[in-house]
Amino acid sequence: MPLHTTTYGDHGSRVVFCHGLFGQGRNWNQHAKDLAADHRVLLVDMPNHGRSEWTERFDYVDAADRVAGVLDADDPVALVGHSMGGKIAMVLALRHPELVERLCVVDVAPVRYRSATEFAGYIDAMLAIDLTTLEGRREADAALTDAVPDPGVRGFLLQNLRRDGDAWRWQPNLELLRDDLDAVTDWPEEALDVVTPYDGPVLWMGGSESRYVRDEHAAAMEALFPRVRRVTVKGAGHWVHSEKPDVFLEVLRQFLG
């Protein structure tokens, strides 16, 4: 099954967005609309998210190859990825450089992150909701409050709650993501041992308040992406593009040229 995609714009260079964990392509809708006057924009639901296919395991190489399947070597893209989607985008650029004209990595590094406790708590709380008796989103929001006290994060997670007829369901493959969280927070270093560094231009954008991009990550980033330029967005946390959308878009526009 192909991945679910949404397109904006009908001319200009091609820009492809990869969302993060618990996200979906439509998280980038506003940015896509803003760019559509000058670019052809493609929003992709990552495997096990949104309307895309579910898989039997989480694997960055497999996910990157699946995203590569919707791209075309005759029309290389500017590839933008946030968090989990940033790792997928990096792996794709390393394995299929002919598909990627330039790369933008948002608030993640090509390293293993040690703790997945926060994400595990989110998934456990989502799975604990009895969807067979759920009356509406307000009830679901209340059920998540203890585990997810930040209303912005709750709202983000609840975008994944869908109603099909009389039944509620979660769009992401939550059981798989819970079982494979170690793979989500990992980096497939061994699988990428044989690839050469990606030699295209790379924008590495992070939030000043985020713990996902640190100075000690620079060596790993520069080893794989020697033409990297790092930009730190002041006052932004992990969700740079939603917390500081105007700054994010301006920096991205400059990178796209």
Kindly tell me the sign of the dihedral angle through the C-alpha atoms of 144, 150, 151, 157.
Answer: negative
Residue the block writes with tokens 């709380």: 125
| pLDDT given at position 115 | 74
Nearest to 80 by CA among 227, 247, 208, 248: 248
| pLDDT given at position 67 | 98
20, 83 Cβ separation under 8 angstroms? yes
Nearest to 198 by CA among 180, 225, 171, 220: 225
pLDDT 10s digits, 40-71: 999 999 999 999 999 999 999 999 999 999 99
- Mean pLDDT for 142-153 is 93
Nearest to 9 by CA among 35, 45, 29: 35
- Mean pLDDT for 26-38 is 97
Task: Read off the tokens for 37.
Answer: 């006057």
How would you classify the pairing of strands 161-164 and 167-170? Answer: antiparallel
| pLDDT given at position 125 | 95
Q: Tell me the longest C-alpha to C-alpha distance in the chain.
A: 53
| pLDDT given at position 114 | 84
- Mean pLDDT for 132-142 is 94
At 108, give phi and psi (nearest 5°): -160, 155
Residue the block writes with tokens 């500017």: 78
| pLDDT given at position 116 | 79
Distance CA(221)–CA(228), nearest Å, equals 8
Which secondary structure element, helix H or strand E, spans residue 27, and what is its range? none
236, 209 Cβ separation under 8 angstroms? yes
Q: Is 154 helix (H, G, I), strand (E, B) or coil?
A: helix
- Mean pLDDT for 230-252 is 96
| pLDDT given at position 1 | 67
Distance CA(2)–CA(4), nearest Å, equals 6
Distance CA(152)–CA(25), nearest Å, equals 18
* Whether residue 242 has pLDDT greater than 70: yes
* Whether residue 138 has pLDDT greater than 90: yes
24, 159 Cβ separation under 8 angstroms? yes
Domains and CATH numbers, the chain: 5-113+186-256 (3.40.50.1820), 117-179 (no CATH)
* Whether residue 215 has pLDDT greater than 80: yes
Question: Which residues are catalytic, by number?
Answer: 83, 175, 238
Distance CA(40)–CA(51), nearest Å, equals 21
pLDDT 10s digits, 175-196: 999 999 999 999 999 999 888 9
Span between the terminal Cα atoms of the chain, in Å: 34
Residue percentage of the chain with pLDDT more than 90: 94
* Whether residue 200 has pLDDT greater than 90: yes
Average pLDDT in the chain: 96
Distance CA(171)–CA(223), nearest Å, equals 36
Q: Which residue has the higher pLDDT, 166 or 155?
A: 155
